[in-house]
Chains A and B, each alone.
Chain A
Amino acid sequence: MTWTWFHRLGSPPYVYRLAGRLMPWFAWSAALVILLGLFDGLVIAPADYQQGDGFRIIYVHVPAAWLSLMIYTWMGVAAGVGLIWRIKVAHAVAAACAPVGASFTAVALATGSLFGKPMWGTYWVWDPRLTSELLLLFLYLGYMGLRSSFDDLQRADRASAVLAVVGIVNVPIVKYSVVWWNSLHQGSSLSLAGKDTIATPMLIPLLVSMLGFTLFFAAVVLVRLQGEVLRRERSATWVREALA
Chain B
Amino acid sequence: MTVQFHSMAQFLAMGKYAAYVWPSYGLTLLAVVLNIAWARRLLAQAKTEARRRLAAQEQAA
Contact flag (A, B; Cβ within 8 A): yes
Q: Interface on A for B, CB 8 Å cutoff?
A: 38, 42-47, 52-54, 56-57, 60-61, 64, 99-100, 103-104, 106-107, 110-111, 114-115, 117-118, 216, 220, 223-224, 226-228, 230-231, 233, 236, 239-240, 243
Q: How far is the CA of A233 from the CA of B43 in the complex (A)?
A: 13
Can you list 23 contacts pairing A with B, beta carbon distance less than 8 Å? Answer: A43-B4, A46-B4, A47-B4, A52-B16, A57-B24, A60-B25, A60-B28, A103-B31, A107-B31, A114-B27, A115-B20, A118-B17, A118-B20, A220-B35, A220-B36, A223-B39, A223-B42, A227-B39, A227-B46, A230-B46, A231-B46, A236-B53, A236-B54
For the complex, would chain A's binding face be called helix, strand, loop or mixed by DSSP majority?
helix
Q: Mark B28-48, 1 if CB is under 8 A from A, else 0.
A: 100110111011101111110
| A-B CB contacts (within 8 Å), total count | 108
Pick the residue among A61, A104, A240 that contacts B24 (CB under 8 A).
Answer: A61
Interface size on B, residues (CB 8 A): 37
> In the complex, are the beta carbons of B45 and A227 less than 8 A apart?
yes
The answer to whether A99 touches B38, judged by C-beta atoms less than 8 angstroms apart, is: yes
CB pair B54–A227 under 8 Å, yes or no, is no
Q: How far is the CA of A228 from the CA of B50 in the complex (A)?
A: 11
A43-B5 contact in complex given A114-B24, A118-B20, A224-B39, C-beta closer than 8 Å: yes
Residues of A within 8 A of B54 (CB): 236, 239-240, 243
Verify B24–A231 contact, CB threshold 8 A.
no
Asked whether, in the complex, the Cβ of B4 is within 8 Å of the Cβ of A44, the reply is yes
| Alpha-carbon distance between A117 and B45 when the two chains are bound, in angstroms | 41
A243 with B50: CB separation less than 8 A: yes
Residue of A nearest to B51 (CB): A243
Q: For residue A64, which residues in chain B have a CB less than 8 angstroms away from its CB?
A: 28, 31
The CA of A171 and the CA of B43, in the complex, are separated in Å by: 31
- A44, A99, A226: the one contacting B1 at CB < 8 Å is A44
Query: Does B59 reach chain A (CB closer than 8 Å)?
Result: no
Residues of B within 8 A of A220 (CB): 35-36, 39
> Which A residues touch B51, using CB under 8 A?
243
Extra contacts, 15 of them, besides A223-B40, A233-B50 (Cβ < 8 A), are: A44-B1, A53-B21, A54-B17, A107-B28, A111-B27, A114-B23, A223-B39, A227-B42, A227-B43, A230-B46, A230-B49, A230-B50, A236-B53, A243-B47, A243-B51
